[in-house]
């Protein structure tokens, strides 16, 4: 019997890319490939690239070059680019980066095994010519579901696949193979985006918004629970739009309690929320449903009205503060994070002052700040009134300093809170590390348990009750109290002692 060919998937970028990589892994494993963790141990290294901003694109190129350096020094024979950067640039990337043995777009995913076998056998796979993927689906959301079956939608593999195609790991197995053992996993709600933010190119290469059916989201969540996952994070380009193409814009409010009721799941988290699309009913579900984290990843981007309009977005400082007040009235412990762009074309000093006013009043748990730079193919790249780079850099440093100060203060506000913590790692050097409901993976800080508490009860994947006793910047230090299953969950009004 011939030796199975091996493949390693190297993933860059966001949680959506991680889901796409696990779907690719599922396809390859179902077709007989052996998955390995390290690129140097694989016949072919598949790099799932990010194409969002210049820094992410540079990281993707660096990862491809690093994998290419392995060729001739070990087992690695080929390096292949997939993902957003490969989709966005296609032939242009292939010509600019001859070190990549293949540049595959989303349309290649369904036949990824054949493409890789061709490359390993010395053949070539022609890189695609990029196109605006928004034009592949009808303008009307209501007409997209049927049309979507003919369009490549990474991360949308259905559940209950035919025998021989789905991984043999459960009756509801999706076309997905986990690439790690973390007790947290992302689940795609949708792909694409219908918004036309002037600084963002994502809709052009991810396409128009299309939801996954609730039955597939539920089935995949059940399968993940069977794999030992305790927290699922719902991801898409815009979760507040979920269901609009299925005829029910309030579908997320119905789906969340069903996901929270899945046996084995201890926490459901929703990311990527648009402030302008937040609904009272969605706020109610997010702040009152057991096992649904009162967590709000709100894409504010700025708060000065003039800048927001130039960004093709809505809102202002006072509206945003009212939204946050509504959330915290219902759930005082709710976690809120956001990202902001400074130095946008036409941004004035008074606009920056307005942003500072919002940040000071918002009490956000985590803040990402980015300096504006032109992104090709976007409306903002054509704007006049571009700011000098030194002005952008100064404002970036200024707002970043403020953000660091404010998030540290917000962490201090949580001293004395009783929190539910999912333990994610335990080792001799760092002890036990986990996250509370207000902390999303990788972006929002973490909780470190004091060395003298918890003992054998602090195990990876276990949900425990703890009390916050210290801070380390945005990170918290906590004392273990008990395993969550030993007592009822903490009511929001009793969370602070």
- Bridge partners, residue 296, by sequence: 336
DSSP state of 467: E
Tell me: is residue 453 an annotated ligand-binding position: no
Residues 6+ apart with CB under 8 A from 191: 16, 153, 154, 155, 156, 206, 207, 209, 210, 236, 237
Tell me: is residue 84 an annotated ligand-binding position: yes
CA angle 208, 209, 212 (to 5 degrees): 135
Tell me: is residue 14 an annotated ligand-binding position: yes
- Bridge partners, residue 338, by sequence: 367
Burial degree of 451 (CB within 10 A; 0-12, 13-18, 19+)? exposed
3-class secondary structure, 81: strand
Tell me: is residue 291 an annotated ligand-binding position: no
Tell me: is residue 217 an annotated ligand-binding position: no
Please tell me the distance from the alpha carbon of residue 173 to that of residue 194, in angstroms, as a whole number: 30
Please tell me the distance from the alpha carbon of residue 403 to that of residue 138, in angstroms, as a whole number: 41
3-class secondary structure, 447: strand
Please tell me the distance from the alpha carbon of residue 63 to that of residue 480, in angstroms, as a whole number: 40
3-class secondary structure, 168: coil
Tell me: is residue 444 an annotated ligand-binding position: no
Binding site members:
14, 50, 84, 193, 197, 200
Residue numbering of the annotated binding site for [4Fe-4S] cluster: 14, 50, 84, 193, 197, 200
């Amino acid at each position: 019997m011939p030796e199975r060919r091996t493949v390693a998937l190297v993933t860059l970028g966001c949680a959506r890319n991680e889901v796409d990589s696990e779907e690719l892994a599922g396809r390859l494993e179902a077709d007989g490939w052996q998955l390995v963790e390290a690129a140097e141990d694989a016949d072919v290294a598949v790099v799932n690239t990010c194409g969002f901003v210049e820094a992410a694109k540079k990281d993707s190129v660096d990862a491809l070059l690093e994998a290419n350096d392995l060729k001739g020094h070990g087992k690695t024979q080929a390096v292949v680019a997939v993902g957003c950067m490969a989709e966005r640039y296609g032939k242009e990337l292939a010509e600019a980066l001859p070190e990549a043995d293949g540049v595959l777009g989303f349309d290649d995913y369904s036949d990824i095994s054949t493409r890789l076998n061709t490359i390993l056998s010395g053949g070539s796979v022609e890189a695609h010519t990029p196109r605006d993927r928004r034009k592949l689906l009808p303008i009307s959301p209501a007409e997209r579901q049927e049309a979507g079956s003919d369009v490549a939608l990474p991360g949308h593999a259905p559940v209950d696949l035919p025998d021989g195609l789905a991984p043999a790991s459960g009756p509801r197995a999706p076309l997905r193979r986990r690439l790690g053992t973390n007790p947290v996993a992302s689940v795609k709600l949708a792909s694409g985006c219908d918004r036309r933010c002037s600084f963002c190119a994502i809709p052009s290469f991810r396409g128009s918004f299309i939801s996954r059916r609730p039955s597939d989201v539920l089935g995949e969540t059940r399968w993940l629970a069977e794999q030992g996952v305790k927290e699922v994070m719902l991801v898409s380009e815009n979760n507040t739009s979920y269901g609009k193409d299925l005829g029910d814009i309030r579908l997320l409010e119905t789906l969340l309690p069903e996901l929270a009721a899945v046996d084995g799941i201890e926490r459901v988290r929703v990311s990527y929320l648009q402030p302008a699309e937040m609904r009272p009913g969605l706020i109610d579900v997010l702040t009152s449903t057991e096992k649904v984290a009162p967590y709000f990843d709100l894409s504010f981007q700025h708060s000065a009205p003039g800048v927001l309009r130039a960004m093709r977005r809505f809102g202002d400082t006072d509206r945003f503060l009212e939204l946050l007040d509504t959330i915290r009235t219902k759930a005082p412990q709710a976690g809120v994070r956001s990202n902001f762009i400074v130095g946008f074309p036409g941004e004035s000093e008074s606009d920056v002052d307005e942003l500072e006013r919002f940040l000071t009043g918002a009490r956000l748990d985590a803040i990402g700040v980015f300096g504006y730079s032109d992104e090709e193919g976007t409306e903002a790249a054509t704007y006049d009134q571009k700011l000098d780079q030194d002005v952008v850099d100064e404002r970036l440093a200024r707002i970043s300093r403020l953000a660091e100060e404010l998030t540290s203060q917000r962490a201090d506000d949580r001293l004395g809170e009783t929190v539910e913590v999912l333990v994610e790692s335990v080792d001799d050097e760092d002890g036990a590390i986990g996250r509370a409901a207000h902390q999303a993976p990788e972006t929002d800080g973490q909780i470190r348990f004091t060395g003298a508490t918890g003992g054998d009860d602090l195990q990876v994947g276990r949900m425990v009750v703890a009390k916050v006793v210290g801070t380390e910047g945005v990170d918290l230090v906590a004392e273990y109290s008990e395993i969550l299953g030993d007592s009822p969950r903490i009511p929001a009004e009793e969370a602070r002692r």
